[in-house]
Amino acid sequence: MTTPAAAPAPQLDTNANPAAPTTPALSPRTPQEQARFEAALIELFEHKIAFNQVLGLKILSLQPGDVRARIAMKPDLIGSYTHGRLHGGVISSVLDAMGGLAIMVGIAQRHPHDNALQVMSRFAKMGTIDLRIDFLRQGIGQHFVASAEVTRLGGRVASTQMHFVNDEGTLIATGAASFIVS
């Protein structure tokens, strides 16, 4: 009596990620859903965060690697009334806000399959844990542009670098910040 040949052993894929989901791939956010997300983020930053309204913060760009906002000089933001200079606390606050905004854009980019509401809910536990501002020049100008980029986006902590320039493009201040993201 002959015994049937044993079935060949299954080949293991040594490159496979054991933590990878076995469900079909999800499609990324549609352009319409991305527009909803960006509109929700602008609504949050420009209207729902009251202090940003006091600052007059207006978002210019929400592109990963190009997160920028603008503030106009106004009497409420002057720190030195004799010289008409922007208050240092305003500069710090704007740079802090911009670091947070850049991280929000980074989180959205990391989760491209989440809809606008899902992405926005990821920001609930976010907060600044460390902020360093280097004031390089006096805050003199008609308006100012702040920018930020994410230097590290981990599961719990994210880091950013920020810049603050006046209407002539002169660098006024730089910043670095860390944020809790979970």
Residue 12 falls inside a structural domain: no
On whether residue 54 sits in a domain, the answer given is yes
118 domain residue, yes or no:
yes
DSSP state of 45: I
Asked if residue 14 is part of any domain, the answer here is: no
User: Whole-prediction pTM value?
Assistant: 0.83
95 lies in which domain range? Answer: 31-180
Domain count, the chain: 1
Is residue 77 domain-resident? yes
DSSP string, 2-24: PPPPPPPPPPP-TT--TTS--SP
pLDDT in tens, the chain (182 residues): 444 444 444 343 444 444 444 444 567 889 999 999 999 999 999 999 999 999 999 999 999 999 999 999 999 999 988 888 999 999 999 999 999 999 999 999 999 999 899 999 988 889 999 999 999 999 999 999 999 999 999 999 999 999 999 999 999 999 999 999 98
* DSSP string computed for 82-126: TTTEEPHHHHHHHHHHHHHHHHHHHHHHH-TTS-HHHHHHTTTT-
Read off the tokens for 165. Answer: 């320039």
